[in-house]
Amino acid sequence: MTAAQIAVTIGGVAAIAWVLWFFLFSRGTGIAAAAVGGVQEVQVLVKGGYSPDTIIVQAGTPVRLQFYRDETADCSERVVFDAFGINQELPAFATTSVEFTPDQPGEYPFRCGMNMLKGLLVVEPRGERHAASSPHKFHD
């Protein structure tokens, strides 16, 4: 092989590795909120999408999502959580807090004002996840 062929081969392998990394690890991964002073807080980068785009929280505890909008594109000007009646403007190059308390477990999509950028808030049941389904055979 010539030096040029070797370079092309290395470049191709690097490109494949990057594509694998991009699809396997950089997208669609959920992040669990960290509790800060009784509030479940998550930083979300807004730039052509939401990252992370899946946010996992627990029901019954206040949630604070810190959206940093790192662009001026009109598309991401607002963030909307239909289930919680939230339609919040996000000024460019600033952090905007969106706070609410999800009471019911479930999956709640969020989106930009035009319904193009999408994310998902996953609300898990509070505490022990299987407490409600444990058998009651020891009760009198």
Looking at the Cβ atoms of 42 and 112, the one nearer to Cu ion is 112
Residues 13-52, interacting with Cu ion (CB under 5 A): none
Binding flag, residue 77, Cu ion (CB under 5 A): no
Task: Please answer whether residues 121 and 107 qualify as being in contact, where contact means their C-beta atoms are separated by less than 8 angstroms.
Answer: yes
Nearest approach, Cβ of residue 46 and Cu ion (Å):
10
Binding flag, residue 123, Cu ion (CB under 5 A): no
Tell me, by CB under 5 A, how many residues bind Cu ion: 4
Binding flag, residue 112, Cu ion (CB under 5 A): yes
Which of 26, 114, 126, 127: binder of Cu ion (CB under 5 A)? 114
Looking at the Cβ atoms of 14 and 116, the one nearer to Cu ion is 116
Task: Please answer whether residues 79 and 91 qualify as being in contact, where contact means their C-beta atoms are separated by less than 8 angstroms.
Answer: no
Nearest approach, Cβ of residue 6 and Cu ion (Å):
44
Residues 6+ positions from 92 with CB-CB distance below 8 Å? 69, 71, 72
Which of 39, 45, 59, 75: binder of Cu ion (CB under 5 A)? 75
From 125, 102, 123, 121, select the one nearest 111 (Cα to Cα).
121
Host H or E run for residue 14:
helix 3-25
Structure letter (DSSP) for residue 33: P
Rg for the chain, CA atoms, rounded = 21
**Residues binding Cu ion (CB under 5 A):** 75, 112, 114, 116
